[in-house]
Structure 1
């Protein structure tokens, strides 16, 4: 079964990128390791997705370091709940690395967004909220998290499956990083235009 290898490079004195570290999915019994990779703004935290792991239950892995001169060390593994969840197929992290949102998508059922916050003292992530929607299993689902971790938007650009006959973008907000997101607004597209196919959000939402 195919796994994956993530290469981490950095600039040398000649301004050339050279490989600094390899992280091999074989070491973590991961499948499709590296399908999605995210780095915090200060480059001290790295998330690597492996959505086909454990019979496609999925997982993503958190690696950390204290200084840029150090290699990344394994910190935590976060797992999906059921087979064919494809958990972690898409991951978004706040620039400071304290909020992570991961997508799972069941092709025959529904999808979910998992919102995690990081414990300041121990450095581990804990689940804050699971946002579920029966139309999150659309193949063209996309989502974005604001830099402050307070606004979350997602859209499912699949008109034929939409309960409203057209695509929608849902906007969620919350008051603090320890709170759950609540639905603030829904933006409706027009039939057949794949509204919400690509999404982005400003740093403050």
Structure 2
């Protein structure tokens, strides 16, 4: 976090001192809009859903009018601004600054190998609960052991249905947990 803040401050100072502050802000604005649109398509759950008609109208206006207008203004400014010879090294520094911010943000969001393994294990467990892959054979102990995980993943109903099908195929009586029958 300190690294990205330092890169940001140095980039802003360079842009200000070289007279390219608005130019670099336009470049960052374009990148921000592209990042926002990509994130909206890849992770729509991160963005709030408008409930009322007026909120939906505001969202539609900002998405279909506001963002393209900002993009057009930024591209117009970049296209109409002439970068003179002595500003070119600063422009390169600004572009490296933007690339540095993108690189730092990308590294911050990359999961570690342990996090990837945990995610893969959770996905495998989820598929096991749905019966898509083989796992431990069904038994009362297996059902009770995995039930808290099924609840955490929100598939407890499907897991219980699988258990009930197994119980019926084994011609077992109604199921009652050990703690309930012993008290």
User: Structure 1 or 2: larger strand share?
Assistant: 1
User: Structure 1 or 2: larger helix share?
Assistant: 2
**Alignment TM-score, normalising by the size of structure 2:** 0.20
**Alignment TM-score, normalising by the size of structure 1:** 0.18
* RCO higher in structure (CA 8 A, sep ≥6): 2
